[in-house]
Amino acid sequence: MTTSPLAPTHGVCLLCKTPSPTIDTLGPDDEWRCPRCGQLWTAARVKGAAAYAAWSAEYDRVAPLAAVTL
């Protein structure tokens, strides 16, 4: 994986894509609750979710559903 550990959120809630002016700039003690899905975001949670999203995208590319045999 070549992405930075601080993957950008593109200024949106990582769950429902509601625009947030602050989600990319949360400090260690800051939090932002998404008005649409109710997810409470902290800097650590954003970082973890962004990292998972990047991993998931990479995994889908490397191991597509064709690997599943039915």
| Residue placing its CB nearer to Zn ion in the complex, 10 or 36 | 36
Interaction of residue 42 with Zn ion, rule CB under 5 A: no
User: What DSSP string describes 18-46?
Assistant: -B-SSGGG--TT-EEE-TTT-PEEEHHHH
- If one asks whether residue 16 binds Zn ion (CB under 5 A), the answer comes out as yes
Q: 38 vs 20, 62, 70, CA distance in Å?
A: 13, 32, 38
Q: Which is nearer to Zn ion, 37 or 63 (CB)?
A: 37
Among 34, 43, 46, 50, binds Zn ion (CB under 5 A): 34
User: Which amino acid does the sequence have at 49?
Assistant: A
Q: Which residues bind Zn ion (CB under 5 A)?
A: 13, 15-16, 18, 34, 36-37
